[in-house]
Structure 1
């Protein structure tokens, strides 16, 4: 098992390097390349030689290890996560403002806790699309924007209930003057060292600049932005690298989807065709995939809710999960999570083999739960899928909290799952 402190530090570095899905994919590719993986171009000839491969489409990444004994129909062990997080996304015409303030027009991406974005020093990151068809990553990792709260003197009832209007109250300020004096895209083009006249479009989001930090008397907690779901992406990538070369008889696969936070219904989301297409080719073609998929298993990995001590009435009293208790198996009778009994048994075997503790998360009957990419993967592919995740507090906040030990537990259990030939 990886040393807890080293893995927590590495997770912190991964999060800091990944303010957007595009940056997360770029950092993952850097790590895969350093480990000897090579790119499989999506439109190129399929590489069948043994070894590590990765395939990129925008903010989605697939990577796998092709063992030397792989044949058509070889089963796969899939780790599925997502690269995106709730945030504020810049609109196509970003320059706006009022009353002598320059502001940036944004809309909410995903189910963000809006108030958590107030009064934070924010950077801006994403990609610029150029007229020649290329894209350039950009990351302003210094204080650039801020969404200011209204002073309590002007809203004496604010502590009895904060009401925010996404159109009116979430626009960041980034300077003084009229909107005509601002040109955000020209500024970002300068940051990326490209000609602003060549920028045709953009995908840009805000990100919190407060770095990850261990906290608590024993430093056994980790506070960081985007734990949902970069903690899972990092663990899946690490598990794949650990599994590479040590899994004869199965093909370990990692996929980090974009757009989970907005429903997955995109070309690079879990509901799109990309995973099915790639897995079909890994399996040896359409005729071979039936046998392969029937013997394959998928692990859908997304953070889950840690029991909040101030709101225990929102949780099922016998299925609470806590940080540093190990990853939680997520179960829902209505299949909002894809776990079933045989899948749960496979997960329990992986945890036992890895010497890792595990726990359960089941929602309170009167509090609807969220969902994951798990039911989508299971429905699209017919592959038995299990939902798990490490417990966090403040899910969908600009800054979340998890246990320092849980990422290591997840890596160990996931590695066992991805190399399990039973």
Structure 2
């Protein structure tokens, strides 16, 4: 089973998510946990020195991280045991010049990132988190930035002015109706100067030293347990920080594996993964190639090691919501607190096949964990994951799995308190296999 009991795993997940309001903060949270367990950071621009048993991590772009433990057995015989997940979540991102000053208010222009449920951003306590680049004596310097207090709001239109909202749903124009209220403006007060002062003060620099930023909008309400017996978890970014947390926890729980174990958490999955830091880039292939080179493998043996490798692509799964039965495939009603879900799609939106599904079923059985099966309804478009992308680029066997989730891509999603420990246990068995 998981190294943590179910309740402890759920609470630890909440702590991890609360500390990670942006992909850059998520990577910092991962790095902090890895460093605390003796993992040493590697620089892609430096030469690496790896030995059996050594534990390392490497960061690309500030928002993607790969951690690994060099196995005690020969890589060419054991191959890699990989878990892939992603650090980004759908939401709103601040534009480069976002300050809008009118009608006595300072509003921020935002851009939709991925596919969030926009209506869930209304009437919430929102704030900003991400990274800024500032000018320093040594040149441009990147700093993480986070406002803990409610800073922004997207007030709903009163029902008196939108009489059909309950019948037709809340629809928001992505250009004109999403700017977020930040502050009141006095007569003659410059909107951009007000914003730059706010960001500069948070970064502890003068406004003129602020060069650029990447800022995400997040809900300041922390995660929580809910339900009559605290059997559920509510939080932002469960998709897909829950999988990052499970993969990282499983990696840390097995400090001396026989096979070389790898946890890869990528940015940009929600927008297609095609970036230097995304799963569609060279990051994971570069890291695996360098590990193989350090093990003394030539190209032939490197290919042999990949042929003996196995990837578990971990991304959340759609849990059955009984209020909406017509949205689900009848034979694939995935239940919250029912265990990890194997996700299948004939058009290869998920990378699972019969053999890799059977392999994951066996891992769950060995870990004493229940598992479920999910297929999307035939008349609905199916999402995808990093699984097909990474498997295609590496040429390795792969399965897509995830924990059950309600309200995927909402600003506040819900999952099962038991499922996190079960996923950690299943992934731990994968790393030990």
- TM-score by structure 2 length? 0.94
Counterpart mapping for 1:6-405 below 5 A? 6-49=8-51, 50-57=53-60, 58-71=62-75, 74-131=78-135, 132-161=139-168, 162-177=170-185, 180-182=190-192, 183-245=194-256, 247-248=257-258, 250-284=259-293, 287=299, 288-405=301-418
Rounded Cα–Cα distance in structure 2 between residues aligned with 1:46 and 1:278: 10
Offset, 1:155: 1.7
Give 1:74 shift: 4.5
Residues in 1 aligned to 2:59 and 2:220: alpha-carbon distance in whole angstroms: 27
Query: Residues 51 and 65 of structure 1 are in contact (CA less than 8 Å); yes or no, is this contact kept in structure 2?
Result: yes
Name the CA distance, whole Å, in 2 between partners of 1:370 and 1:71.
Answer: 34
Q: Which moved more, 1:198-207 or 1:394-403?
A: 198-207
Cα pair 2:21 2:218 within 8 Å, conserved: yes
Find out whether 1:413 has 2:423 as its counterpart.
Answer: no
1:181 and 1:343 map into 2 onto residues whose CA distance is 55
TM-score computed with the length of structure 1 as normaliser: 0.96
What is the CA-CA distance between 1:71 and the residue it aligns to? Answer: 4.5
Output the CA distance in 1 between the equivalents of 2:165 and 2:248: 43
Contact kept? 1:86, 1:109, Cα under 8 Å = yes
Q: Is the 8 A contact 1:75 1:283 kept in 2?
A: no
Gaps of 5+ in 2: none
The number of aligned residues is 418
Following TM superposition, the consecutive aligned residue runs of length 4 or more in structure 1 with deviations greater than 3 angstroms are: 68-74
Q: Quick check: 1:40–1:54 contact (8 Å CA) kept in 2?
A: yes
SS in 1 for 2:253: helix
TM superposition shift of 1:365: 1.3
CA contact (8 A) 1:73 1:290 kept: no
TM-aligned CA deviation for residue 244 of structure 1 = 2.1
The SS at the match of 1:270 is: coil
Q: Is the 8 A contact 2:85 2:315 kept in 1?
A: yes
State the 1:72 CA deviation. Answer: 5.3
- Deviation, 1:344, is 0.8
Whether contact under 8 Å (2:101, 2:191) holds in the other structure is no
Q: Which sits farther off after the overlay, 178-187 or 139-148? A: 178-187
CA distance in 2, matches of 1:123, 1:163: 22
Structure 1 runs not aligned, ≥5 long: none
Helix, strand or coil for the counterpart of 1:234? helix
2:91–2:113 contact (8 Å) kept in structure 1: yes
